[in-house]
Structure 1
Amino acid sequence: MTRTRLYRLGAAVATAATLLIATACAPGPSGGGTPAAPTNEVSKDISSAGPVTLSVWDQNTDGGMVKAQEQLNTEFQKMYPNVTIKRTVESFSDLKSTLKLALSSNTPPDVVQANQGYPDMGAFVAAGMLRPMNDYAKLYGWDTYYPESLLKQNSFSSDGKTWQGDTLFGVSQTGEVVGIYYNREKLASLGLSAPTTLGELDAAMAAAKAKGMLPMAFGNLDKSPGIHMFGVVQAAVAGAPAVKNLVSGREGAWTDPASLKAAQQVAAWSAEGYLTPGTNGVSRDDAVATFGKGGALFTLTGTWLQQPLQDALGDNVGFTTLTSDDGKPATTGGQGLAWAITSKSAHPDVAAAYIDFVTNAKAAQVLLDSGNLPTVLPTGYEPKANTLAADIATRYRETQKADGVVPYLDYSTPTFYDTITTGMQELLGGQVDPQQFVDSLQKDYAAFLKNQK
């Protein structure tokens, strides 16, 4: 019997969440938004901390992640019997709403999973809600275990104004790439192999439609899938370097020809009937279930659904990512939400030990054993050939080696998540045309960059 207490919360009331956005811009606990630098020496001595109830909030609700997280929590409590984990688990969309409320309370959780970029992590840092973690990175070796590019995604300036700054505020447990899951038998029946370019994907969907198949099971009710779809297409059209510069605010515009072309491609898929009918009213889970039952040739989503799709289709499911016009791997992704320590936690050493336990090399093997992709693949890891696990490991390694993983597009500005998810629903639904869609993205982006100066 586990001592982990599991809580599930409903979505927060919209008005309360709106209130918190204002709170995130208000002074933090010490009278300013910037969190105070830690003053106590950090320690790995957890056993002498006395009885501790560690409050942990995460969004590990998908397939194999449920099993892995429960196993890791149980093992941590066995190692440290003085610690009881009080776990709250939410879907990604619910966590985005409820976490803002929780962090503004007088008794916030000790450990949370925070979405990277300006909308969430940046707002929390600016409000003084997260504890800097550079000292723990040195203590546990995170600064050498993780690639520098991934550490930067979890970093901000200490005031929260500049993403990819010098202060680390979290580390991630899972690696992620968004790509195309395909039904091997259906693809073979069309005389085709796994697509690796946007042109090949488009041609395969046209062939499927001509044979009466649903080309792509896709549901955008949850909104975030729209970010993934546009991210995949934009990276394939523009190439990873250009999109990275755009998301990071270094150069480019969302109205550039490549972004407009990507929007035109997405709109065409919807207009030509390549996607699940009524896609904006279909949940991601329902679309994935349709694909898992053999109801579509493709589905577009991330590696976090490896285990559910493996369970559904066995050896009949494969995974591919696309290359850009220059032949280099390019797709959206990077890593899962960052595990962070809240600034009001009374047990930061225990919190850091927990984060290390669920993200380190030993945890990576637990993740692999339960059908998940760890942020850092163990040296020598080679899954059985021609399996979904092999496809995913190969694509992850290729894109990482080529520096072809583009950060999720909603990291771009504090309001970009709402802007791009609303825009994608309107684009897929035919309420706006591609030019209007990219214009709305650029308006948000330009206003943010202007205020940054």
Structure 2
Amino acid sequence: MRSRPTTLLAAAGLIGAVALSACAPGSNSDSGKSSAPTGQVSTDPSKMGDVTLTVWDQEIRGGQKAQITELNKEFQAKYPNIKLDRVSRSTDDLNTTLKLALSGNTPPDVFQANNGRPQMGSFVKAGQLVPLDRYADAYGWKDRYPESVRQYSSYSTDGKTFGTGSLYGLPQVGEVVGIYVNKAKLQKAGVSMPQTWDQFQQSLATLKAKGELPLVLGNLDKWPAIHVFGTVQAQNVQPDAIRKLGFGQKGGSWTTPENTKAAQTLVDWVDKGYLSKDVNGLGYDPAWQGFAKGKGVYLIAGTWLQADLGKQMGNDVTFVLPPSASGSPAATGGTGIPWAISSKSKHPDAAAAYINFITSKDAMAVLAKTDNLPIADTAAQQAPNALGKDVFAAFGTAVQKNALVPYLDYATPTMSDTIGAALQDLLAKKATPQQFLDTLEKDYSSFVSSNQ
């Protein structure tokens, strides 16, 4: 997971059951690159004959599982000639297995591929994905998904340029990383909801003094701390500077006083006991599950936990954007993991029809009903509960204020591993803030200089 379920919409203003298979990917690689489909696009699934689509996803948690299960059921009922052979995995398992599968002879037809350089960018470079531009024209995706959304699943054909070129994926959900708050515990501690970054940090000290665990974080998986650091960074570094780093663009720098302050803040939180002592030994899922059961007061995480936390905590939980240090909100966020099509698929039209079905206006209503955050037609949807309304409102504010900045691990093909390991070292105090930033700068600058 990133489960994030983990994307981006940053720079430009924004967004306006099935058989379970355990099949393994083919082990024989095929060095030839398949070309994009040519000729007229067929958009009527009922006329595509008997087809089996192998579908790989990471929709395994709460509302994610509920929405895709319902949409798959509806698709099969409407188009019984198309059988969906679904394989569902955790994000980490999917990321690992997908790389092998796409280089083999039996890849899935349609799947979720993280839109960052380590996944989608490398797949585009290897010619393993179908460009979706023809389908976007045929289905009107460009009318429902503005350029500010499409750019985060767009690459040049050589995979070097992120944000322009052809469309290679389509997401279902929006994302923003904010702060889940146990309102009951906050009230019991006599702390008001923080409105500024200084007030938030002051509340951490107050909660610690009252015997509470102020901030829940399980970083055994390494990536969760990226979201926490990104949240702190966004209160210290200008959004455009973060965007250069996150998108791997020329002209950025990690080794700045502002980034140093952000890294030092994390170290200070460790020293002051705001995080659990086993922060690097606790898994992501056990951490948020502990929060749901009443451990800790704040949880910095994404909107993908909305369904699970809302179900378990009811009215005791809310979701807010990180309190601003500058008066203007800033938060990590973007789109959910988009759906893509293998260039080796024998049924690209059917795969595109499936993607169209699960991203349609009707599908957005299903997403909202199952505690997800629809990426399109968001304003037309009704949140199912109080937490959902809070999430919709936070995302709407972030979009309106152009406050979203990218996930930092998208910057280079290796940044996910680099920053994940470096943050573990920082939290364990095996590296100083300067050593932490030097590690990131080496990865970033090496990539930028070679990606010309």
Q: Report the alpha carbon displacement of residue 323 of structure 1 after superposing the two structures with TM.
A: 4.8
Residue in 2 that maps onto 1:192: 191
Residue in 2 that maps onto 1:210: 209
Residue pairs, 1:334-349, within 5 angstroms: 334-349=334-349
Residue in 2 that maps onto 1:430: 429
Aligned partners of 1:186, 1:8: CA distance in 2, in Å? 43
Aligned partners of 2:73, 2:192: CA distance in 1, in Å? 43
Q: Report the alpha carbon displacement of residue 40 of structure 1 after superposing the two structures with TM.
A: 2.2
Residue pairs, 1:181-260, within 5 angstroms: 181-248=180-247, 249-260=249-260
Aligned partners of 1:164, 1:402: CA distance in 2, in Å? 20
Residue pairs, 1:397-412, within 5 angstroms: 397-412=396-411
Q: Report the alpha carbon displacement of residue 67 of structure 1 after superposing the two structures with TM.
A: 1.0
Aligned partners of 1:198, 1:92: CA distance in 2, in Å? 31
Q: Report the alpha carbon displacement of residue 28 of structure 1 after superposing the two structures with TM.
A: 5.1
Using the TM superposition, name which of 221-230 and 102-111 deviates more.
221-230
- 3-state DSSP class of the match of 1:322? coil
Q: Structure 1's 383 and 337: CA in aligned 2 closer, same or farther, altered over 3 A? A: closer
Q: Structure 1's 293 and 55: CA in aligned 2 closer, same or farther, altered over 3 A? A: same
Aligned partners of 2:204, 2:325: CA distance in 1, in Å? 19
Q: Report the alpha carbon displacement of residue 55 of structure 1 after superposing the two structures with TM.
A: 0.5
Identical residues among aligned pairs (%): 45
Given that 1:176 and 1:335 are in contact with CA atoms closer than 8 Å, whether structure 2 keeps it comes out as yes
Q: Structure 1's 7 and 279: CA in aligned 2 closer, same or farther, altered over 3 A? A: farther
Given that 1:183 and 1:297 are in contact with CA atoms closer than 8 Å, whether structure 2 keeps it comes out as yes
Deviations 1:359-396 (A, max 9, x none): 121111111111111112433445478x2111111110
Q: Report the alpha carbon displacement of residue 271 of structure 1 after superposing the two structures with TM.
A: 2.1
Q: Report the alpha carbon displacement of residue 439 of structure 1 after superposing the two structures with TM.
A: 0.7
Given that 1:270 and 1:428 are in contact with CA atoms closer than 8 Å, whether structure 2 keeps it comes out as yes
Residue pairs, 1:13-412, within 5 angstroms: 29-30=32-33, 36-248=35-247, 249-381=249-381, 383=383, 387-412=386-411
Q: Structure 1's 202 and 242: CA in aligned 2 closer, same or farther, altered over 3 A? A: same
Aligned partners of 2:45, 2:393: CA distance in 1, in Å? 38
Given that 1:56 and 1:112 are in contact with CA atoms closer than 8 Å, whether structure 2 keeps it comes out as yes
- 3-state DSSP class of the match of 2:38? coil
Give the unaligned 5+ runs of structure 1.
none
Equivalent position amino acid for 1:29 in 2: G
Q: Report the alpha carbon displacement of residue 188 of structure 1 after superposing the two structures with TM.
A: 1.6
Aligned partners of 1:297, 1:277: CA distance in 2, in Å? 16
Give the unaligned 5+ runs of structure 2.
1-16
Residue in 2 that maps onto 1:417: 416
Aligned partners of 1:114, 1:384: CA distance in 2, in Å? 28
Aligned partners of 1:390, 1:208: CA distance in 2, in Å? 27
Using the TM superposition, name which of 370-379 and 65-74 deviates more.
370-379
Aligned partners of 1:369, 1:171: CA distance in 2, in Å? 20
Q: Report the alpha carbon displacement of residue 286 of structure 1 after superposing the two structures with TM.
A: 0.7
Q: Report the alpha carbon displacement of residue 429 of structure 1 after superposing the two structures with TM.
A: 1.3
Equivalent position amino acid for 2:285 in 1: D
Q: Structure 1's 61 and 197: CA in aligned 2 closer, same or farther, altered over 3 A? A: farther
Given that 2:332 and 2:407 are in contact with CA atoms closer than 8 Å, whether structure 1 keeps it comes out as yes
Aligned partners of 1:242, 1:197: CA distance in 2, in Å? 21
Using the TM superposition, name which of 100-109 and 224-233 deviates more.
224-233
Q: Structure 1's 28 and 146: CA in aligned 2 closer, same or farther, altered over 3 A? A: farther
Q: CA RMSD in A?
A: 2.0
Residue in 2 that maps onto 1:6: 20
Aligned partners of 1:60, 1:382: CA distance in 2, in Å? 21
Aligned partners of 2:23, 2:94: CA distance in 1, in Å? 9
Given that 2:37 and 2:348 are in contact with CA atoms closer than 8 Å, whether structure 1 keeps it comes out as no
Q: Report the alpha carbon displacement of residue 137 of structure 1 after superposing the two structures with TM.
A: 0.9
Q: Structure 1's 266 and 295: CA in aligned 2 closer, same or farther, altered over 3 A? A: same
Given that 2:128 and 2:343 are in contact with CA atoms closer than 8 Å, whether structure 1 keeps it comes out as yes
- 3-state DSSP class of the match of 2:236? helix
Higher RCO (C-alpha under 8 Å, 6+ residues apart): 2
Aligned partners of 2:164, 2:180: CA distance in 1, in Å? 35
Given that 1:8 and 1:90 are in contact with CA atoms closer than 8 Å, whether structure 2 keeps it comes out as no
Q: Structure 1's 8 and 260: CA in aligned 2 closer, same or farther, altered over 3 A? A: farther
Q: 4+ runs of 1 displaced by more than 6 Å?
A: none
Aligned partners of 2:102, 2:427: CA distance in 1, in Å? 34
Aligned partners of 1:66, 1:37: CA distance in 2, in Å? 31
Equivalent position amino acid for 2:438 in 1: D
Task: Tell me the TM-score normalized by structure 2.
Answer: 0.92
Aligned partners of 1:89, 1:384: CA distance in 2, in Å? 26
Aligned partners of 1:104, 1:51: CA distance in 2, in Å? 26
Equivalent position amino acid for 1:236 in 2: Q
Given that 2:200 and 2:323 are in contact with CA atoms closer than 8 Å, whether structure 1 keeps it comes out as no
- 3-state DSSP class of the match of 2:175? strand
Q: Structure 1's 218 and 400: CA in aligned 2 closer, same or farther, altered over 3 A? A: same
Task: Tell me the TM-score normalized by structure 1.
Answer: 0.92
Given that 1:156 and 1:167 are in contact with CA atoms closer than 8 Å, whether structure 2 keeps it comes out as yes
